[in-house]
Amino acid sequence: MNGAESMLQTLINNGVEVCFTNPGTSEMHMVAAIGKTTGMRSILGLFEGVCTGAADGYGRMAGKPACTLLHLGPGLSNGSANLHNAKKANSPILNLIGDHATYHKKYDAPLTSDVIGLSHPVSHWVKTSETSNELPKDAAEAVVVANGAPGKISTLIVPADCAWDESGEPLPAQPIPAAPLVSDESVQEALALLKNGKKTILLLGNLALTEAAIDIVDKVSQATGAQLFCDTFVTRLPRGEGRCEVERLGYFAEQATEQLDGVEQLIMVGTKAPIAFFAYPGKASEFYAEGSTLHTLAGVNDDAENALQRLSDALDANSLSPRHVKLAKKGEGKGELNPYTIGQTFAEHMPTDAIVIDEGATSGGGCYASSVTSEPHDWITLTGGSIGFGLPTAIGAAVACPDRKVIAIHGDGGAMYTIQSLWTMAREDLDICVVIFANRKYQILQVELARVGAQSMNKKTLDMLDIGSPNLDFVKLSEGMGVSATRATSIAEFNSQYLQAMKTTGPKLIEAILP
């Protein structure tokens, strides 16, 4: 058994069963090892950002890591932006990066680069195996780290000779470390804040946003009057019928500061204090008033549900009923085809247990607002701000949950970064409906240009933020990669195309031409 084979069996023994891959010569023994086993599904991407984004979506929905298989430094680089998003999402991912044979690195061949240096910024853990014998052990360590709550990015660099040389036996399943419990002091401090009569919010993220955790914190809210918010960008948010509503903080400082108006105390659970996405000249970076009391009940890595349960216990709130949302359908969109009418139709026909991938950018708000009382669903957002996450993440979500419809709502600009994703959707026949909001500009940037006080709105400036000229034809792009597609230029066309997509399975793209 060579190093690649023993490593692979170790991963399989530890529950890793999907590999999103775009391999090259230095990964050929790992490719061959995957080819020889039935324990690892291999899914090919035409670009590495597809693979890493898919691993992010898979990790968010499966709650365990897939692996990626990437080709030296450049392969990692191509996948790096979506690893950045995944790192900010605390998704579990295990990257396998093939590198030159140990003895070949000194020659500085064309593909030689500082793989370790490129790995650290997008990983929680990085290791280079030094021999084939160490490779299975390193792989076991990588998978344990990746499974650390709420999820970590492990990057294992595998020199080609470590993969092809003879190795030892694979390692069995390793214990997965539980999320640490928070201290009693932290719970007591939160309790004291919740009881002192001051205006208080609970800000939720990561492990505090499971369905169970939200049910508990909703009781805490009822018992104390504290308002519930979650981060603007969430890894995964259960919503719709049968779930409690949690208000998302607004993206722009003026929205968020209005939401937090008068708040004196912020208790963070599974996240950190709320701050602006970008700095703006003369505006504060912090969303909370100066002098506010901040308390982190549970950090990002802590057992947030346990901390909330202890709060609920201490407040005698367990007997309260969580305030679950009731299903309320409000009808399809009518009138103009725009993000709001699209959102109405999107919400109306969303099937039970859909997974929504939201990279709608300036056009996505209508879908979110309209679907508060839709069928139960999960909402997944862009946590790291690097656009081009939505299409790949949809792939991973669909692989993790083959019985659930995935709906990716996507800005046209963002969709172009990893447009190659469509091909993998077709190849794997994934049940994904992609809705493209075609406004033919980087609209968020036209908004931001004014907001940052950059006083130049002339044609040359705006052209840098405009992606019409020529217009992209997403129907042709989609068909060019094997995904059937239609164009909607009216709300009636959209309604019919979307309903049809919800009634059938398999990949489908709808390009909605916005005014």
Q: What is the DSSP string of 397-427?
A: HHHH-TTS-EEEEEEHHHHGGGTTHHHHHHH
Footprint on residues 11-40 left by a second copy (CB under 8 A)? 21, 23-26, 28-29, 31-36
Phi, psi angle pair for 198, to nearest 5°: -80, 160
Stretch that binds a second copy, among 7-15, 82-90, 189-197, 258-266 (CB under 8 A): 82-90
Footprint on residues 410-429 left by a second copy (CB under 8 A)? 413, 416-417, 419-420, 423, 426-427
Is residue 297 within 8 A of residue 220, CB to CB? The reply is: no
Half-sphere exposure of 43 (CA within 13 A, CB side): 32
Strand ranges in 303-438 using DSSP code E only, listed in sequence order:
354-359, 377-381, 406-411, 432-438
Shortest Å distance, C-beta 122 to a second copy: 8
Shortest Å distance, C-beta 46 to a second copy: 4
Of 373 and 505, which CB lies nearer to a second copy in the complex structure?
A: 505
Shortest Å distance, C-beta 424 to a second copy: 10
Q: Binding of a second copy at residue 288 (CB under 8 A)? A: no
Q: Binding of a second copy at residue 8 (CB under 8 A)? A: no
Q: Binding of a second copy at residue 472 (CB under 8 A)? A: yes
Residues 452 and 335: their CA atoms lie apart, in Å, by: 34
Q: Binding of a second copy at residue 281 (CB under 8 A)? A: yes
Residues 221 and 212: their CA atoms lie apart, in Å, by: 14
Binding a second copy (rule: CB under 8 A), the pick from 175, 458, 503, 515 is 458
Q: What is the DSSP string of 64-126?
A: S-EEEEEEHHHHHHHHHHHHHHHHHHT--EEEEEEE--GGGGGG--TT---HHHHHGGG-SEE
Stretch that binds a second copy, among 84-92, 145-153, 211-219, 317-325 (CB under 8 A): 84-92
Residues 466 and 445: their CA atoms lie apart, in Å, by: 9
Binding a second copy (rule: CB under 8 A), the pick from 114, 184, 185, 403 is 114
Of 344 and 381, which CB lies nearer to a second copy in the complex structure?
A: 381
> Of the candidates 101, 40, 102, 107, which has an alpha carbon nearest to the alpha carbon of residue 68?
40
Of 192 and 454, which CB lies nearer to a second copy in the complex structure?
A: 454
Other CB atoms within 10 Å distance of the CB of residue 469: 7
Binding a second copy (rule: CB under 8 A), the pick from 445, 496, 499, 500 is 445
Of 122 and 432, which CB lies nearer to a second copy in the complex structure?
A: 122
Binding a second copy (rule: CB under 8 A), the pick from 1, 12, 15, 46 is 46
Q: Report residue 195 as tokens.
A: 């009881």
Of 87 and 405, which CB lies nearer to a second copy in the complex structure?
A: 87
Other CB atoms within 10 Å distance of the CB of residue 175: 7
Q: Binding of a second copy at residue 144 (CB under 8 A)? A: no
